Structure formats: structure tokens, C-alpha cells
Structure 1
Amino acid sequence: MTLSGERAQSSTSSRIIRVSSSLNPIDFAPFGEVVENPETHGGRGKVQKVEANQGSATKWLDVSHLENWYTLAPSRKAAKSVMNMFVCKPRKLEVKDGREVFPVKILERHPFTPQTFIPMGVSPEDKDVRYLVIVAPTLKTTKRDSEDLKKPYPAEKPKPNRKSLKERLLGARPNPFTNDFEATTTPSMLSLGPGRRPRGPGGPDLDNIQAFIARGDQAVTYGPGTWHAPMVVLGDKAIAFVVVQYANGVGVEDCQEVDIRGDLSVDIDESGIKASAPGIMRAKL
């Protein structure tokens, strides 16, 4: 991997990868979280619910998480929560050996923040509206990787998060509006599942890249530091996404990009996408 400015390059052999499955919380757990209505998606995942709004609503608890890890950034510049909107047009597909494929040219990551994409105004019945989620694990750090990516993390193995008595007491304080107990500081990295922990400074593992097809009524949260492709909308309609994350304005700490050298593509079966019933997705496997 070599770095040019804030963008690195990574090489891979020429190959076509298949869509792993429809987007679901279990298969996607190593990379982040899926936000969906459990009642219309087969009750997947372990999400608790309570009644709300005088019994007129169901409240699903902790469907995703937005933690701020910028205390690990080299600049130590504070970050703020931001909400942007991306209106994403459908991507052009290529035809290879009679198959429609999406060429993967670039991957990116946000080292110190999760990033949640929330589609707007999309009906679950609109089967022509889908988007492709492409993610890759992080390689184990080498000295060269750390130098190329400007050492976005101070250490590969996080130290236990020792909080002061004041921090522990504040972290257990109930929310005055809901009486829910909520943490007021970033939780210990070691107490979180793999999809919520920051990744190491290594580049993307292109040998184990995966792709999922998401419905328009699903949101996706990329875990902090998860290598992923920029949004890929399929079908024939644009999708407006509200994107929620933290940012501190330091370019290399907010976003890092890798150009893919080689012919890497994702096999898309458009007929399977359009024919699938809610909660079921057929793709070439």
C-alpha cells in the first residue's frame, strides 16, 4: 500500500466477488449495525422493545450506536456530531461474461466515528430501490501500513478505560427526560462487540471483502474504522440518505481513502433484486 496525500493505494488480483446475502444484523455484525424494524424483518437480532406514547407506539431500544472515539486521534482536536444529506444516484453497472457487475475502485473509512446512512422516503414495497453495502476487514498492522496511513491510532491494543469516581457516578446518572440510565462518557473499548470497536491502522483486507444488498427501509451503521465503499444505489431511482457521524475537521482523521489497483467487481443479479419479497434477497452465490 502506498500513500499519495491522504489517499493510499492497494492492489488485488482480478476477480469477481458475489453478494454475501441480504443485509442483516447477524452477518453484518463484524462491520457495524443494521437498523431495521424487527417486526417486518423477521425479528432478527437482539433488540428489546417497550411501549411508548401512551401505548400508541413501540419503542425499540438501542437500534444503533454513535460513539465518539476522537480522543484517540493524534491531533486531539475535539469532534462534534454532524448530520449531512447525500442524494445518491443509481450507479452504472458493467457487463462481464454476461453478468452485471459493479466495479470497486475505492474504499474509505472514518477512523474515529461510526457513520449511519438513513434512507428517506422509501417504501418497503418499492422493490426497485436497493443499495449495495461493500465492506472489508482491516489487515493486521505492519510498520509500513502505519507510516502510510499516518498512524491514525496510538496503539493497536487498547488500554483498559480507568474512569475517575466522578466519571463513574455521572455515567450512571438517569436521563431526566426518560429515566433511562445512559453513559455520559465513551464506554470502554474492551466492553464493546467487534462491530462497535475502532479498528487498527492497517489497510483493507481485499481477500475477504464482502457485499450485501440492502432494502430501502433499512439503515446501516458502519463501525468506526470499517473499510467500506462509497454509497452504491441500485435500481433506477435516487435515494436521499441522512448521514450521522462525528467529525473534527482534520481531513486524515475524518476520512481516509484507498484506491483499488486491479479489477475487483461485485456480481449483481438485478432480476433477483427486483423479484425478491421483503426480507428475502436472492443473488448469485
Structure 2
Amino acid sequence: MVVIKELSLSSHILIPAQPLTPKSFAKFGYVFSADEQIRTAKTSNANQGTAVKLLKVAPVVNNSSHAPSGKLATANWNIFRCTPPKKYIVQKEHDQQVYTGRVLERHPYSTQTFVPMGRDAGEKAFVVICAPNDPNFDDLPLVEKAEAFVCRGDQSVTYAAGTWHAPMVAIGSKGHLDFAVLVHENGVPNEDCQEVVYSPGFEVSFSYS
């Protein structure tokens, strides 16, 4: 990855996290949430009649042919073992938590899918933070319009190619949260992952209730 910009924030930014749904996340990518999508997605029978297959809930995109290097990316499954960032989370009133983020990143030519492993279906397991591109500022993230989402253990997200997002924020009392992660990578740092670093950072509020 490459840090392409370091920016100072002149005003306080507090982003209230909302529940993750396919509709709420649509401007940034796609959600896998079988309980919510099984009624609306196109389906078929599978697995010798013991499964319902929800079809094409998210695309897998590899645009590396458009990268300056011309080096094609391969599809890779990685595992991220994420530890809750306790250093950057402050307990407020009741169960209100505030996370301070300092980085937004994007994968310019690839979608990226995060599938959590090892959390209960209804448990609030991780926080996703995304920001739109600012067309008036070199397509850097428009952090003032960032949005945050609290995600359950039975939900996965696919970031659309080029979507600005924070590193994954695992939450909860367990020691770590594993993700299976699908992304296309060509080994060229500036084409695989670009970062913008903020000072003093932006805040995201969330709760477990």
C-alpha cells in the first residue's frame, strides 16, 4: 500500500453508525445477508435439494487491465485476523462507544469482500466506514460525508472497486475476529492499495444495543 496524501482536519467530524443493510450500503458496494436477501434475491435449489442458492448477490471485479503498469492482478483469498482497536475506542455513556479513525484506503482496480468467521449470527461483530470520492479534490475521500455501519456476524460486505473505506474495525469482547478476504492484487503497491492519513482523525459512534 502507498500513502498518497496526509491531511489535517480543520473541524471535528463525528459519524453515527447505522445498521448495515443492502439498501443502506448500496452506494459503497454490496452486502451478503441471507436473512434479508432471501425474500428478494433470485434463487435456485442447490446441494441436492438441501440448500437455497441466492444468485449473484455481489459482483467480483478485476479492472487491473486499466492500471498504469499494465500488470494483471490475480484473485487472492487472504485471511485477516483483526484485533479490536481498543487504543482508539473510548467508552461513553451507557454502551455508547466512540472510535477514532485516522486512515481511509481504496483498492483502485478491484472489489474487496470481507467474510467474518467465528461470530454468532446476531452478534454485533464489526464496524465498516466508507466515504465517497470528492471529484473536486483529485478523487480523494470526502470524509465530511463518510458513513459508518455496524455489522452482525452473519453479514459480509463487498467494497466496490475504488471505494474509500477504513481498515476493518472488529468490536466485542472476544480477542480477535477472522475475515476471509477476496481481492485482486498485482503486486504494484500504488495499484493494489492507496491510503489517505488524517490528523487528528475522525470519530465514529456506535453501540451494542
5+ long unaligned stretches in structure 1: 146-201, 273-285
Aligned counterparts of 1:6 and 1:35: Cα–Cα separation in 2: 30
Counterpart in 1 of 2:118? 121
Following superposition, the deviation at residue 240 of structure 1 comes to 0.7
Counterpart in 1 of 2:15? 17
Answer 1 or 2: which has greater helix percent.
1
1:222–1:249 CA distance, 2 compared to 1 (3 A)? same
Q: TM-score, normalised by structure 2?
A: 0.90
Following superposition, the deviation at residue 239 of structure 1 comes to 1.1
Counterpart in 1 of 2:131? 136
Following superposition, the deviation at residue 42 of structure 1 comes to 6.6
Counterpart in 2 of 1:245? 183
Pick aligned residue for 1:206 from 124, 133, 143: 143
Q: TM-score, normalised by structure 1?
A: 0.67
> Based on CA coordinates, which of the two structures has the bigger radius of gyration?
1
AA aligned to 1:89 is T
Pick aligned residue for 2:159 from 222, 242, 255: 222
CA RMSD of aligned residues (A): 1.9
Superposed CA offset, 1:196-240 (max 9, x none):
xxxxxx100011000000001111101101000001011112111
Answer 1 or 2: which has greater strand percent.
2
- Counting aligned pairs with the same residue, the percent is 39
Q: Does 1:36 align with 2:30?
A: no
Counterpart in 2 of 1:68? 62
Residues 14 and 262 in structure 1, CA contact (< 8 A), matched pair in contact too? no
Aligned counterparts of 2:163 and 2:198: Cα–Cα separation in 1: 16
Following superposition, the deviation at residue 96 of structure 1 comes to 6.0
Residues 38 and 54 in structure 2, CA contact (< 8 A), matched pair in contact too? no
> Please, which moves more after superposition, 9-18 or 88-97?
88-97
Number of residue equivalences: 203
Match of 1:41, SS state, is helix
Match of 1:65, SS state, is coil
1:263–1:81 CA distance, 2 compared to 1 (3 A)? closer
Counterpart in 1 of 2:81? 87
AA aligned to 1:213 is V
5+ long unaligned stretches in structure 2: none
